[in-house]
Each structure stands twice: as C-alpha cells, then as structure tokens.
Amino acid sequence: MVKTTIVGAGSVIFSQKIIMDVLGFEELKNCKFTLMDINLKKLENSFSLTKRAIEDNNLSAKLEKTNNLDNALDGADFVVLMIDTPAVEAIKYDNLIPYKYGVNQVIGDTLGPGGVFKALRLIPQVVDICKRAEKLCPNALIINYVNPMAMVTWAIGEATKMKYVGICHGVKGTVRRLATFLEIPEEEIDYWIAGINHMAWVLKFEHQGKDLYPLIWKKLKETKIEDIRKAKKEFKGGFSPWYEMFDEKYRIEMMKVTGYFMTETSGHLSEYLPYFRKRKDIIKKFDGDEDWKGSSMYYYRTIAGIRKKYDKDVERMVRSKHPIKIAEKSIEYAPDIIYASVTNKYFRFNGNVRNTGLITNVQQNACVEVPCFVDRLGVHPCYVGDLPEICAALNRTNINVQELGVKAALNKDMKFAYHAILMDPLTSAVLSPDEIKKMVNEMFKAEKKWLKGYKSKM
C-alpha cells in the first residue's frame, strides 16, 4: 500500500484537494494517507472532512492522523511538505517593519526582507523533517510546497540526502491565463518554460506549431476598453476571464523589456525587481494607489481576516451533513507526480531542482524551475541551456539573495541574512546599506523567539 504523508495537513482544503486528486486515479484508490500537524484542532478538521469525502465517494483509501512527526514519516513513499509557521503572527514583522523603512513589499514571502526572514524560520524546520526522513523513509520523494520555494528547496538539496522536488502552480496558472486570454483550449497549447520560481520565462508558447507571441501582442494592442467593459457585463462567473490579462501591467511591462512573459502575477512580481515599488508615483502609475490591494500594508491588514474566514468556512463544512462530492481535478502537480511514480507512466511538469548544468548561464547549484519528467525512477529535470541574456541577468539578481539567505538559515548567521537583504533588488533601490542594517537588526529583535541560536553581529 502506497503511503503519502502530508506534513502541515492542517491546511484543510489544500490537503483534501491533493488527496482527492490522487484518489481520482483508479490505480491509487487503495492508497494510505497520513495527516500530520502540530495544530490539533486544524488536524482534526482536516481528518474529519477528508474521511467524510472518502466515505461519501465509496473509496477504499486508508486515512490516519498524528501530531507525531516520526510516526507520520515512518515508511512513507511520498512526503508532501506544506508547513507555514508561525503563520499570521510573523507577517506583522515581515511586512510592517520593512514598510516603515520604505520597502513596500506585496506579500513578502518569496524574496526581500520578508522572504529572507521567512526562510530563516522555515528552513531549519524543513531540514529537520528531511533529516528525520533520512532515517524513517530514506527512499521517499519529498514534494515541497513550502515558501520561499527557491530557498527552502535549495536548502533541502544542500543539507539532506533525500530525493526532492519543489512545486508551485505558477507555471500552470500562467499557461491557463495566456490560453484564456487567447481563447485557445489550454490542452492544445505547447509550451517550454524555465528560469527560477516566480521568475520563470515562457520561452515557447505555441498552438499547432505556430508561435503565439505575435497573437498575444496583437490582442493587447487592438483590444479596446469598450470590449473589456462589454465582456465584464457578460461575464457569468467561473475561471478568470480573458480580460484580466489587462490587469497584468507589471508582467506586460517586463514582457516589453525582455520579450518574454513571466510566471508570477503582476503584484507579486513587482517586489522582485528594483524598478516599480521604490516611488509612490511609479506605483500610482501602475496601480492607481500607493496602498493598492497588493501592498504589504494591505496584505497585513487583511490576511488575519482572510485566515479567520477560512477557519470559519472549514468549521461550517465540518458541521455540515451534506455529502462531499469529488471536485474537478485541481491544477496541483503533486497528485500527478505520485501517480507517475507509482505507475511508471511519464508525467511532465515544471519542478524546482538543483541547477546541475540545466540552465547554463545562471549560478550552478542554485534552485531552478525547469521542465521535468517523473517515473518510478524519480524526477528527471530537462536540459535548458542558456536563457535569453536579459532573462538570465534578472534571474541572477534574485539568486544572489536566495544563495545568501540559504547560507544564513543553514549556518544561523545574522551577517549572511543582512547580506542577503543587502542584495535584494527592491530593498537596495530604496535604502542605503546602513539603513538596511538597522532594518534587519530591528527584524531580528522582533522575531527573536522564532530565531534561536543565530550568531555573529552585522
């Protein structure tokens, strides 16, 4: 019986989505799932809902729960990581301290001051999980969803012996966004995407052998505001409509510069670059309001409410007596990776892996996001070669931060953390080195209860 362990299973909807997607495959209907979380209430909710979903759909899968990591890992074939601690409590410091200094992140969980400090908190925990997995399930595949994706996945490869891959739905979401914009069925699109997580490049985007970039440019140029207004009135609901492409102002701007579309949504993307979030007038030009709905201040103000609403929705679902139907298959890669590994039926996806000559003009041993195949022998990353020079150059600016952030977390070294943030494109566009040092010191003091054992002064 194939055993899949989900660590951080208190993320109820996400856990259930992955499990039900796995059970949608005929060959995997007898799988075993172990849900593990240190939050007992969320763990119980996740177990209760998933158990009902299995029973309501007459599935024969085995489900168990535990708050003991060793029990969860013992004998696992796949370990899905989706932890996020301490969640909302730390967002206040990750976002508002940099905001006070003028660094206006959007989410702050991937790069920049917030992303680096999130890595400092989570990398030691993820490495500890993988070290225990080395003893309890050494042949398991670690499937990492934990952000900051590049830094966490890089650290797994640097500090452990486990087989691993990091996955994100950014590539799939980008393909869907472009296909929807062009009104071409997604399954008919051929694409080749590579770079780093949240900054991968749509190098090829074709339909029946025809390059679709000219059509993208044509539709962007020729669509009139009246067409968008009409489409908004006629929209009946469902997946994001085609006209939302026109909200991707940052991505479109960078496509003008580089010639290639990027895989992260516009607001998030803007915080990985030095060009946009350094002045109020530039932010206003692109968003109309310096405190728009993607800013770090807005994110902090709303995330707690969003999480509370989510928890209430989950509680309501737990109390409900309505049967749980299997939903349409999600866009997550993990179920297909598990299926391909078990059945030896190839599956192609974009995964985050160590750069062992895969992309030849960015730093080697970095974490890159490239096309991969998976079968029962494991994950097989594809050779990409050189990226277009401007694309590689922009990737390298982010990899500089990631490399130093990983060193900071693995060595528990404050100086590396300072240097990582010193290299951050947005932060360095806004602050002097001394101002960055003061900000980093303030963040270390505010988050000291989660950052034990850090050495060396800056």
pLDDT bin (cut points 50, 70, 90) of residue 236 is confident
pLDDT of res. 131: 98
Report, as an integer, the average pLDDT of 386-410.
Answer: 98
Cα 212 from chain centroid? 26
Read off the pLDDT band of 12 (50, 70, 90): confident
Catalytic residues: 169
Tell me what pLDDT residue 299 has: 73
Over residues 249-257, mean pLDDT: 94
Predicted confidence at residue 422, as pLDDT, reads 98
pLDDT band of 294, cuts 50, 70, 90: low
Instruction: Work out the average pLDDT over 171-186.
Output: 93
